[in-house]
A = this chain, B = another copy of it.
Amino acid sequence: MFAHVRPAAARLRPLNLSLICFKPRFNSTGIGSQLGPRRAVVYNENGNPAEVARVVSSTDPVLLRDEDVLVRFLAAPINPSDLNVIEGKYPMRPEPIHEFGASSDGPGIFVGGHEGVAVVVKTGPLVDGPPTKPERRFRVGDWVLMRKPQTGTWTNWKVVPMRELRRIDRTKKTESKVTEAFAATLMVNSLTSLGLMTDISPIPGWHSYILQNGANSAVGQAIIQTAKQMGIKTINFVRDRPDYPQLKQYLMDLGADHVFTYDELLDRSFKKTFESLRTPPVKACRHAFNCIGGPTVAAMAALLDKNGHLISYGGMSKQPIILPVGLQIFKNLTAHGYWHSHTWEMIGQKEQDNRIARMVAWKELGRWKDPEHEELVLKGDDEEATGILREGLKRVQEGNIRKKVLIKWASPKDS
């Protein structure tokens, strides 16, 4: 199912020739020197990402079938869940592949990365032909995202069946405000925010308040921006820190209505402060988002109106949720979890496309800021690139990077 780039050995298997009318075989030099050898971040088994992940290269020829698309990755983020996948702690894992030197009769290897943005470099003859389903047509230069989860986006280029791609319809390519950083991080962080407000317990929009802890997390920032677009007010909580005034200003600039520290939230007097924020017409506050765990969760839950929803999408402190029973019984508080990857699959491709189009529209209108990010450019031979990679992974693992780290690949001549 997963071997859309077939290794040499796989080609020995019988193929369904009725489906394969055109199958040019090429290697990197056949596409033009700008692509160079195929490269990827791989790991053989689960473990500490900064120890088990490495960069490998391959010059094996690959097939481009009738309905395949050759894409070059522009940027792919390192998300915390990507690290959990490599650690084997995430309840989803990629399929092993038998490329990049992994023998076809062995267990295979895994390529890291769940999301990323790529550009179309070459298409099979049925991809760019007369349109039957316009959404299935891809042209050189189109920007694309991966429809399937965990397909290994930490790679410089790959061949993908067109049905597994989704184009980002930038209105005017040269003037588009859609950036690589925006597109590369759209699927996980940005769309989690829209899912949180839509899927479990839809928030009615105007006249609603959201509470959230970890408001400076990547999803937290996306929640602030999405809420602003939807006319929902946010009351945001973050850990106190030396640069708190700057962080608060940054979140306010993103669109936060209020920002407080956990110390303020946990203070007895906060209930009064909170009530003073709610201005007429009477605003409902029925949703709290938790990505931290620990004492701030109960404090937020206690502020919710009757019939509230506490929705956890992360537990960065590794502390559990602690809830007084009375909040559940007498205030009818419901506590749910939200697992974006899972819910995303459930909503179906049409709704997925709608949500992506909605976000892209906000971006094109200049209403959405890129996540703060830095590039991790993998260059040099495999050993040098592996060193750069592991250094980057380590920094993400250590946390405390407010910026999103994006993997990029040096072009062959820079490499």
Copies in the complex: 2
Question: Which residue of B is nearest A297, CB measured?
Answer: B325
Contact status B339-A336, CB under 8 Å:
no
Interface string of A293-335 (1 = CB under 8 A from B): 1000010000000000000111100001111111111111111
How long is the Cα–Cα vector from A323 to B312 in the complex, in angstroms? 11
One digit per residue, 1 when the CB lies within 8 angstroms of any chain B CB and 0 when it does not, for chain A 337-348 equals: 111001000000
A91 at the interface (CB under 8 A from B): yes
Report yes or no: B335 in contact with A339, Cβ–Cβ below 8 A: no
Contact of A335 among B91, B326, B331, B335 (CB under 8 A): B335
Instruction: For the complex formed, measure the closest distance between the CB of A253 and the CB atoms of chain B, giving whole angstroms.
Output: 29
B315 near A324: Cβ-Cβ < 8 Å: yes
Chain B's closest residue to A324 (CB) is B320
Chain B residues in 8 Å Cβ range of A334? 334-337
* A314 near B322: Cβ-Cβ < 8 Å: no
Please tell me if the beta carbons of B91 and A330 are within 8 angstroms of each other in the complex: yes
Q: Which of A91, A330, A331, A342 has the most CB of B within 10 A?
A: A330
| Chain A residues numbered 276-298 whose CB sits less than 8 Å from any CB in chain B | 290, 293, 298
Q: What B residues does A323 contact at CB under 8 A?
A: 320-321, 323, 335
| Docked CA distance A328–B156 (Å) | 36
Kindly provide the distance from the CB of A280 to the nearest chain B CB, expressed in whole angstroms.
25
The distance from the CB of A219 to the nearest CB of chain B, in whole angstroms, is 12
The 8 tightest CB contacts between A and B, nearest first, are A328-B337, A315-B325, A329-B337, A335-B335, A321-B323, A329-B339, A91-B330, A312-B328
A sample of 5 cross-chain residue pairs with beta-carbon separation below 8 angstroms, ordered by A number, consists of A328-B337, A329-B337, A331-B337, A332-B342, A334-B337
